[in-house]
Amino acid sequence: MNFNEILTKKVNGKKLNYEEIDYVITNFTKGIISEDEMSKFIMEIYKKELSFKETLYLTNSMIKSGELLDFSGINKVIVDKHSTGGVGDKVTLIISPIVAASGLGVAKMSGRSLGLTGGTIDKLESITGYDVNLDKEKFITQVNNIGIAVISQTNKIAIADKKIYALRDKIGAVDSIPLIASSIMSKKIASGADIIIIDLKVGKGAFMKDTKSAKKLAKTMIKIGKIWNKKVVIILTDMNAPLGKSIGNALEIKETIDFLNGTYRDKRLKTLSIEISAYMISKGKNIALKKAKNLAKNILETNKAYETFKNWIQSQGGNLEELKDKAKTIEVYSDKSGYISEIDANEIAQICNELGSGRTGKRIDIDYGVGIVLNKTLYDEIKKDELLATIYYNNKINKHLEEKLKNSIKIIGIKPKEKNIIISVIS
């Protein structure tokens, strides 16, 4: 067995067995198969896809590439949540303290950016002092004491995924159903949680551009979960417009604080956060969804979630008074009056990436302070010459960005019908 034979077999559209897939994954993880060789293999998967059996083999091999975490030292039911990534997606930051305050455990490993905007770990690292690399003992102790700990994916679990994850971004093979399914499920299964809620984004600002593809991905992940005896619920959510008013790492931390303390709560963001929290609480406590939803709302409204959030961040060394938010600003005003009917999430993400908030292309470092804050969000009324948004930047800014931002926001004369951010729930 050798790599070139396996690659040729895939190029010719033939199905691979477990031994062949495991050979590639194991040897790439060890550094025997080069990044250039692996890039060719990934691109063949991207172009020709994999059968379900091949996707399962890929997932299993990626799980085997690292350790399976043991949370037996945690005295709470562990519930995990994953998002496939979206624009302005600060949901993990909001739902984690809600769920933790309900008495469940959120022992979470999150990723950095894969694409145009920052990942959860990037956002948390915009908080001065926040430690994303707790050792196992501190991690477990914090979950027992506070109910929540969020760290970066360790080098010990799903090692192959971390290497493939970076390569997919580099070569433009992000939106592949087998690669997404195996990446998510290998991490989630290796991370030890038996209950997994997945926020699967659909739309312009997501990997999945249409509901049909998203449902196919959802069913694939659920089938993998069942084989591993995991309870998996997948919530398909709209990502045609950004979530909330802020897009950018430190800016999203600020909005999270405002959301949790009740200063400002975007309607769509609140709907989604309560829905995901409810499913996590319902499955974790084995109670009715309606009861779980009422509990989530109560935790949010009584500031229990906010107090848990502060305890969580402080426990991991973070100082919410010192965000890495240094930036200059440009205010953008509306050219007309009306109602906001569309905000192109992909265009907004492209602008933020140009400002430096993501890691596409050759960029390794990101600028935590840059991004966009929308003064008006989806379905809001706006007047001509009223503040539409503020651009936060540090490096030299191109003049076209202001116009590009205006063009990404559609304003019409009549109030549009509001669409539910929840598309469907699959389990």
Q: Catalytic residues, which ones?
A: 82, 161, 168, 183, 187
- Supply the DSSP symbol for 72: T
The Cβ-side half-sphere exposure at 165, using a 13 Å CA radius, reads 24
> Residue 244 in contact with residue 380, Cβ under 8 Å?
no
Rounded alpha-carbon distances, angstroms, from residue 327 to 194, 253, 319: 42, 15, 19
> Residue 317 in contact with residue 311, Cβ under 8 Å?
no
Q: Identify which of 204, 209, 206, 208 has the alpha carbon closest to the alpha carbon of residue 217.
A: 208
Q: What does the block give as tokens for 318?
A: 């973070």
> Residue 31 in contact with residue 159, Cβ under 8 Å?
no
- Which DSSP string do the residues of 367-405 spell out, in sequence order? -TT-EEEESS-TT-EE-TTSEEEEEEE-S---THHHHHH
- Supply the DSSP symbol for 78: B
Mention every residue, 6+ apart, whose C-beta is less than 8 A from residue 166.
Answer: none
